[in-house]
Chains A and B, each alone.
Chain A
Amino acid sequence: DGGITQSPKYLFRKEGQNVTLSCEQNLNHDAMYWYRQDPGQGLRLIYYSQIVNDFQKGDIAEGYSVSREKKESFPLTVTSAQKNPTAFYLCASSTTGDPGDTQYFGPGTRLTVL
């Protein structure tokens, strides 16, 4: 099946620990994205990557880091510098070109920092 997978579905960590969230896609999409969602809110962009070995900061990149070593994978690390890391994290990927770009989302990872 083609799609976007995120693992795990639920993740618990102690305060002060770094944690890496996985995102894999087999859609052959060039662009990948990470968003954060807080209760009752829309999604906010953390980082995005339009091509392998390149990525850009989104609106709320502080306290997060990413890598894009392979087209299929775009892991997100939530560092201890992120002041309020408990949230629902969503990964997306998109096609590019005509008529436009359409983003498709994975199922999400809910991170709880204790």
Chain B
Amino acid sequence: GQQLNQSPQSMFIQEGEDVSMNCTSSSIFNTWLWYKQDPGEGPVLLIALYKAGELTSNGRLTAQFGITRKDSFLNISASIPSDVGIYFCAGQLRGSGGGADGLTFGKGTHLIIQP
């Protein structure tokens, strides 16, 4: 199956710093999604990207769909304590029948904010 490499695996930052994480794929996707997951909870959608080259913001979060369709990045500006959690990228390729296939997930970036 498709592989997603997400980096870094973990980040230790100071409150107020900017954060950057990215995902690369061995094959193309036509949708990239970024989720945040708190312990014991389901992932919550942060940003959805549907078009190569698309740059989308959601408050302090900005994400881009790479031109090659094989990569995406997420930036968080001016981090705050509630940003702590695990961030996942996920890619999706629409099936040959036009329907939505499942997502392929990266292994996550664990964000830890030091006081």
The chain A residues found within 8 Å of chain B, CB to CB, are 4, 6, 31, 33, 35, 40-45, 48, 50-51, 58-59, 88, 90, 92, 94, 96, 99-108, 110
Count chain B residues whose beta carbon lies closer than 8 angstroms to a beta carbon of A. Answer: 32
What are some 26 contacts across the A-B interface (CB < 8 A)?
A31-B100, A41-B107, A41-B108, A42-B4, A42-B88, A48-B100, A48-B101, A48-B102, A50-B99, A58-B102, A59-B102, A88-B40, A99-B50, A99-B51, A100-B94, A101-B31, A101-B92, A101-B94, A101-B100, A102-B45, A103-B92, A105-B42, A105-B44, A108-B40, A108-B41, A108-B42
Q: Decide if B100 touches A59 in the complex (CB within 8 Å).
A: no
Task: Choose among A59, A90, A99, A102 the residue that contacts B43 (Cβ–Cβ < 8 A).
Answer: A90
The chain B residues found within 8 Å of chain A, CB to CB, are 1, 4, 6, 30-31, 33, 35, 40-45, 48, 50-51, 88, 90, 92, 94-95, 97, 99-108
Which chain B positions have C-beta within 8 A of A96? 99-100
Q: Decide if B45 touches A104 in the complex (CB within 8 Å).
A: yes
Which chain B positions have C-beta within 8 A of A90? 42-43
Inter-chain contact total with CB atoms closer than 8 Å = 83
DSSP majority for the B interface? Answer: loop
Q: Decide if A100 touches B105 in the complex (CB within 8 Å).
A: no
> Which residue of chain A has the shortest Cβ distance to B42 in the bound complex?
A105
CB distance from A44 to the nearest CB of B (A): 7
Per the bound structure, the CA–CA distance linking A99 and B30 in Å amounts to 10
Per the bound structure, the CA–CA distance linking A31 and B94 in Å amounts to 12
